[in-house]
Structure 1
Amino acid sequence: MKLEFGIPVWLLCGILGAWIATTKGRGGCFWFLTCAVLGPIGLVFAAVVSKRTQKD
């Protein structure tokens, strides 16, 4: 895989993972880094993580 294609794809995975996680009430920074490192596998993790519920 060429670097010109690979880096934007991994960064896009990080951005999408952070967006998915923040909509579920999770920390965006952590999920950006996780998904940027793991790529598509990180996106799967971000998608299957449960929503954070607030306790009264």
Structure 2
Amino acid sequence: MDLKLGIPVWLLCGILGAWIATTKGRGGCFWFLLCAVLGPIGVIVAAVISRNEPRS
């Protein structure tokens, strides 16, 4: 894959994964880095994690 296309795609995966994770109550910075490194696999992982429910 050409770097001109590859880098924006991986960054987009990071942003999308961070957004998904923060809507589920998870830390956005960690998930951005994880999804930016793992790419589409990271986005899938962020999508299937459960919500972070507050403990009573």
TM-score, scaled relative to structure 2:
0.98
Structure 1 residue 5: deviation in Å? 0.1
Alignment of 1:14-25 (within 5 A): 14-25=14-25
Matched with 1:7 is: 7
Structure 1 residue 16: deviation in Å? 0.2
Cα deviation code 1:1-56 (max 9, x no counterpart): 00000000000000000000000000000000000000000000000000000112
What SS class does the counterpart of residue 54 from structure 1 fall into? Answer: coil
Matched with 2:36 is: 36
Q: CA RMSD in A?
A: 0.4
Equivalent residues, number = 56
Q: Tell me which stretches of 4 or more aligned residues in structure 1 moved more than 2 Å.
A: none
Gaps of 5+ in 2: none
Over the matched positions of the two proteins, sequence identity in percent amounts to 75
CA distance in 2, matches of 1:46, 1:55: 21
What SS class does the counterpart of residue 30 from structure 2 fall into? Answer: helix
CA distance in 1, matches of 2:48, 2:2: 30
